[in-house]
A and B are shown apart, each in its own frame.
Chain A
Amino acid sequence: MSELVEIRWHARAGQGAVTAAKLVAETALSQGRYMQAMPEYGPERTGAPLKAYTRVCDTPIEVHNNITNPQIVVVLDETLLDLENVTEGMAQDGTVILNTRMTPAEAREKLGVSDKVTVATVDASGIAMATIHRNIPNTPIVAALSKVTGVIPYDEFVQHLKTTFGKKFSQQIIDANLESVKRAYEEVQQ
């Protein structure tokens, strides 16, 4: 059971956190692994804070509750840092991936976490605005997550993105997303 990885996503509705949670899970599935992805459901209002969860494991996953002790926390909206303790219950040697213009050192201070915690930052919103032209930072932040944690391989993720987005979106949107992913992978700092 030690290979189970639990990720908690903090975001505002409309930023694509649920899609991100599923992208990670489905990429893991494409590698033949087991996974779960689910949002914490409540009234759905664009801009309202929400949590989502991803579990990835090499063996079948049988627990079905919310994730309270994640190894990885991903924050898609830095204004949430003033509203909730995003690292609550996180593993002592956990990892935080933050969508912000802050440096990792500034983010670490803001989060108030120990040196054992890995803190990585990427301006996913800036990248999304420059590439997709909308503030939907979900695909770039997954690229950052992949680079920092290795929970899913980057190449597998890009391949999965091409496949799933290929069914839904125009080539222009797919290319913009691929560009955002590439930039985030290169620009994430820790």
Chain B
Amino acid sequence: MAERAEQKIVSATGNMMVTEAFRQADPDVVCAYPITPQTTIVEGFAKCVANGQVHTEFVTVESEHSSMSACIGSAQAGARTFTATSSQGLAYMYEELPIAAGMRLPIVMANANRAISAPINIHCDHSDVMGARDTGWLLFFAEDAQEAYDNTMIAIRTAEDKDVQLPVMTTLDGFITTHAMERAELMNDEAAKEFLGERTPLFPLLDTENPIAAGMFADQDSYFELHKALRDAVTASKPVIKRIGDEWAELSGRPFDFVDAWGCDDADYIIVVLGSAAGNARHQARLLREKGVKAGVARIRVFRPFPYEELVAALHGAKAVAVLDRSENFGGEYGPVGLEVATALYNAKETIPLKNYMFGLGGHDVTLEQMEQVYEDLEKLAAGTIDGSIEYLGNR
């Protein structure tokens, strides 16, 4: 059991905290291209390189497509490899993302969650990361600057664990988390470095004593089976994430859960949400509890692999549940989080009424009034006077 380690209280933005995690991990290679609101991560890390605080080959490229391509080569060679991006940059990387996962390369990428064009918009939503949802990457969502740091630390260990060997995207909400200055705790370098260790590549391309071929062709006889193997690998990463998350929790004193279930034990009405908006939901839930309304919030911290059991446990016993989605599913009904929650409840034979909301797209301000409206709706949903169809929350 690890002892609680010494930490420093700092004022930092989410991007600064990701940079600190990168610095402490001292990666062999960082290859990145700047894009708002991710830029200050790579800017900050470039300073660490220039100041000699890390021993990193910092590769500047002409695009995100090249950035991820270089990361794939670097990770396959055996190097600890990080990058960061956002929005159109992530979209431009898309072609390479499934390759990183399919080749089982433990790349860690921070994503500043930002809307996708058109119209062009630099602010927060989750349409960039949800566009990369099905690529085989593990997906973590931070609520604040502190968790942007904690999730990155857990992501690095998880990706490189011998039983995982998968790329991890550690995401933080654009501007709301990337650029807001908050109080946070930074682990001392020694304890952080000991926690992170070094990457031990299983089959590095540069191990010329044991030559391998990577990025092979797979035909009808094996592509299908390899996809099943990748699915199993993503699912099987769950206990490893839990083990590493718990280890970090012991060291840092900050709890780790796949689902941060606030007040869910006895809640009648629960909001399910990802990222920075959870605090607003929780604040409203506290106010409602003062009035005797049993409100709860289930915030999903790990979206891939999806924590079905933990979520069902959090929602069990509720009279009605609302799922807030920050990315569209045009022409469908529920957004990506809504679909997962519906799947979780259906497969667990839970019949809790469910309603889905689209909120906060393109940085649309997430207000306490919106959260209050959702909880009011849930009472009506439980009473059967409204249905569960999707709504645009706070739409003018």
B-contacting residues of A (Cβ < 8 Å)? Answer: 1, 22, 25-26, 29, 34-39, 41, 60-66, 68
Asked if B11 contacts A64 (CB within 8 A), the reply is no
Asked if B183 contacts A65 (CB within 8 A), the reply is no
What would 20 A/B residue contacts be, using CB atoms closer than 8 Å?
A1-B283, A25-B11, A34-B183, A35-B11, A35-B182, A35-B183, A36-B180, A36-B181, A38-B175, A38-B179, A61-B182, A62-B278, A62-B279, A62-B280, A63-B279, A64-B276, A64-B279, A64-B280, A65-B280, A68-B365
Distance between Cα atoms of A35 and B177 in the complex (Å): 13
Asked if A1 contacts B144 (CB within 8 A), the reply is no
Closest to A53 in B: B180
Asked if A37 contacts B181 (CB within 8 A), the reply is yes
Asked if A65 contacts B365 (CB within 8 A), the reply is yes
Asked if A26 contacts B286 (CB within 8 A), the reply is no
Q: Which residues of B contact A36 (CB under 8 A)?
A: 180-182
The answer to whether residues A64 and B277 also contact, given A1-B286, A25-B11, A41-B122 and a CB cut-off of 8 A, is yes
Distance between Cα atoms of A168 and B279 in the complex (Å): 34
Asked if A63 contacts B280 (CB within 8 A), the reply is yes
Given A1-B283, A37-B181, A68-B367, 8 more A-B residue pairs with CB atoms under 8 Å apart are A22-B181, A39-B179, A41-B37, A41-B179, A60-B183, A62-B278, A62-B279, A62-B282
Q: Which residues of A contact B122 (CB under 8 A)?
A: 41
Within 8 Å of chain A (Cβ to Cβ): is B2?
no
Q: Which residues of B contact A65 (CB under 8 A)?
A: 280, 365-368
Closest 7 CB pairs of A and B: A62-B279, A38-B180, A37-B181, A64-B276, A63-B283, A26-B11, A29-B11
Distance between Cα atoms of A96 and B394 in the complex (Å): 29
Q: How far is the CB of A187 from chain B (nearest CB, A)?
A: 29
Within 8 Å of chain A (Cβ to Cβ): is B123?
yes
Distance between Cα atoms of A60 and B283 in the complex (Å): 11
Q: How far is the CB of A39 from chain B (nearest CB, A)?
A: 8
Distance between Cα atoms of A24 and B32 in the complex (Å): 34
Q: Which residues of B contact A68 (CB under 8 A)?
A: 365, 367
Q: How big is chain B's contact interface, by range?
A: 20 to 34
Asked if B365 contacts A66 (CB within 8 A), the reply is yes
Within 8 Å of chain A (Cβ to Cβ): is B176?
yes
Distance between Cα atoms of A68 and B368 in the complex (Å): 11
Asked if B182 contacts A41 (CB within 8 A), the reply is no
Q: How far is the CB of A15 from chain B (nearest CB, A)?
A: 18
Distance between Cα atoms of A39 and B277 in the complex (Å): 18
The answer to whether residues A37 and B180 also contact, given A26-B11, A65-B365 and a CB cut-off of 8 A, is yes
Q: Which residues of B contact A38 (CB under 8 A)?
A: 175-176, 179-181
Q: Which residues of A contact B144 (CB under 8 A)?
A: 64
Interface residues in B359-387 by Cβ distance below 8 A to A read: 365-368
Within 8 Å of chain A (Cβ to Cβ): is B213?
no
Closest to A28 in B: B183
Q: How far is the CB of A40 from chain B (nearest CB, A)?
A: 9
Distance between Cα atoms of A68 and B182 in the complex (Å): 19
Distance between Cα atoms of A132 and B37 in the complex (Å): 32
Q: How far is the CB of A121 from chain B (nearest CB, A)?
A: 28
Asked if B279 contacts A25 (CB within 8 A), the reply is no
Distance between Cα atoms of A66 and B363 in the complex (Å): 11
Within 8 Å of chain A (Cβ to Cβ): is B9?
yes
Asked if A25 contacts B367 (CB within 8 A), the reply is no
Q: Which residues of A contact B11 (CB under 8 A)?
A: 22, 25-26, 29, 35, 37
Asked if A41 contacts B279 (CB within 8 A), the reply is no
Distance between Cα atoms of A64 and B278 in the complex (Å): 9
Q: Which residues of A contact B280 (CB under 8 A)?
A: 62-65
Q: Which residues of B contact A25 (CB under 8 A)?
A: 11, 181
Q: Which residues of A contact B179 (CB under 8 A)?
A: 38-39, 41
Q: Which residues of A contact B173 (CB under 8 A)?
A: 64
Interface residues in B140-186 by Cβ distance below 8 A to A read: 144, 173, 175-177, 179-183
Distance between Cα atoms of A147 and B169 in the complex (Å): 46
Closest to A32 in B: B9
Q: How far is the CB of A147 from chain B (nearest CB, A)?
A: 23
Distance between Cα atoms of A79 and B368 in the complex (Å): 31
Q: Which residues of A contact B286 (CB under 8 A)?
A: 1
Distance between Cα atoms of A62 and B183 in the complex (Å): 11
Contact of B9 among A1, A29, A60, A63 (CB under 8 A): A29
